[in-house]
Chain A
Amino acid sequence: MKALWLAALLACSASTALACGEALGPGTQPLAGEGWQIAWRAAPTPIPVGRHFALDIALCAPAGQALPATLRVDATMPEHKHGMNYRPSVKPKGTGLFHAEGLMFHMPGRWELVFEWRDAAGATRRLSQALTAQ
Chain B
Amino acid sequence: MARRGRRHAAAVTGADGAVRPWPALLAVVALLAVADPLPSPLHDDDIPRVLAFGPWPPPLQPDPSSRVWGQPAAVAFGRQLFHEPALSANGRIACANCHQAARGFSDGLPRGIGLARGDRNTLALHDLDLQRWYGWDGANDNLWAQSLRPLLDAREMGASLGHVARTVRDSPALRSGYRTAFGQEPGTDDERVAVDVAKALAAWQATLRSARTPFDDFRDAVARGDREAAARYPQAAQRGLALFLGRGRCYTCHLGPSFSNGEFHDLGLPHFAEPGRVDPGRHGGIRKLQASRYNLLGPFNDDPTRSTATSTGHVALEHRHYGEFKVPSLRNLRLTAPYFHDGSAGTLREVLRHYSELNEERLHADGERLLVPLKLTPQETEDLLAFLDSLNEKPARPQ
Contacts and interface: CB of A to CB of B under 8 A. Distances in A.
Interface of A: 29, 42, 45-50, 52, 77, 79-89, 101-102, 104-109, 129-134
Nearest to A50: B261
A131 B311 CA distance: 22
Interface string B241-264: 000000000011101100001111
B189 interface: no
Contacts of A48: 11
Interface residues of B, number: 32
7 contacts: A82-B320, A85-B315, A86-B314, A107-B261, A131-B15, A132-B13, A134-B13
Chain A's interface: helix, strand, loop or mixed, by majority?
A: strand
B313 interface: yes
Contact of A133 (B12, B264, B320): B12
Contacts, number: 92
B9 interface: yes
Contacts of B252: 107-109
A44 B320 CA distance: 29
A134 B9 contact: yes
Given A80-B370, A131-B15, A88 B9 contact: no
The residue among B9, B12, B311 with the most chain A CB atoms within 10 A of its own CB is B12
Contacts of A77: 368
A47 B15 CA distance: 14
Interface in B1-54: 9-15, 20-22, 48-49
A85 B10 contact: no
B9 to A, nearest CB: 5
Nearest to B282: A85
B314 A106 contact: no
